[in-house]
Amino acid sequence: MFNMMKTAILMAAITALFMLIGRWMGGQAGMMLALVVALGMNFFSYWFSDKIVLKMYNAQEVDESSAPQFVRMVRELADKAGLPMPKVYLIDEAAPNAFATGRNPDHAAVAATTGIIRVLSERELRGVMAHELAHVKHRDILISTISATMAGAIGMLANFGMMFGGRDSEGRPANPLVGLMVAILAPLAASLIQMAISRGREFEADRGGAEISGDPQALASALQKIQRYAQGVPMEAAERHPETAQMMIMNPLSAGGLRGLFSTHPATEERVERLLEMARGR
């Protein structure tokens, strides 16, 4: 209950940020327009965000005829978790990663890159897909997708405002320095909110995934291996759509500089240590 309340507050904050940028660009009328747009985006994201994200990554749906071993693995794990069978997708990317999306457990999808299937053992891959199904079970996937959509819109709106300028409360052109600050700080604030939404949920999905697979050590090993490989293999789709990085099992973007400071994922070392503690306690 606390986690849901915290998430609702954070989603309200990201919507409020969207409205504030609207106010800066067009005064009171701009703020009201931004509110209408934000509500519309949330409604649209609820129904279509999973399809949008899968299209961003050019994910291709697979079944037991095209990827029998992988699909059977997901089916077995979904049964263990007490979940309906999600749709299963593959992404033709060398970078090892995976994510879940959809508006609820009855309309969920899990996706993995071809790279992660090549890199991980079957046992490690089970841990990763169990992690993604834990996100589905905890109903994290809709929040992650909506916050990614809103954060991306905030970045675009801020850049648009910097190019064309904003308005003060009386409708006069705003100070261009203010516009520059908005363009820099608004996406940064959106990233901070995404971080707050995502980090706690990753720990919970690790725990839930370890319980579903019954093998916390395998998930710990998978995380270490993904981090090691991902450092040298960029994920092109994620670089084009950085707002979606929070949906992955591990941030596919470079962890250096400010991007590492405001990462939507906890440190891999801490995630691994928690999982190994679970393994020792079994």
| Residues 6 or more apart in contact with residue 199 via CB below 8 angstroms | 264, 265, 266
- Quote the tokens at residue 274: 């928690």
**Marked catalytic residue, from 132, 170, 239, 243:** 132
Question: How far from 118 is each of 105, 112, 114, 209, 240, CA to CA, in Å?
Answer: 27, 11, 6, 21, 24
| Residues 235 and 93: beta-carbon distance below 8 Å | yes
Helix (H, G, I), strand (E, B) or coil at 108: strand
Return d(Cα 189, Cα 155) in angstroms, integer: 10
Helices marked H in 112-262: 114-119, 122-137, 141-164, 176-213, 216-230, 236-240, 257-261
61 belongs to the catalytic site: no
Provide the 8-state DSSP code for 245: G
Q: Tell me the HSE value of 282 on the side-chain side, using a 13 A CA sphere.
A: 13
Between 216-230 and 268-281, two packed helices, what is the crossing angle to 10 degrees? 160
For the annotated catalytic residues, the residue numbers are 132
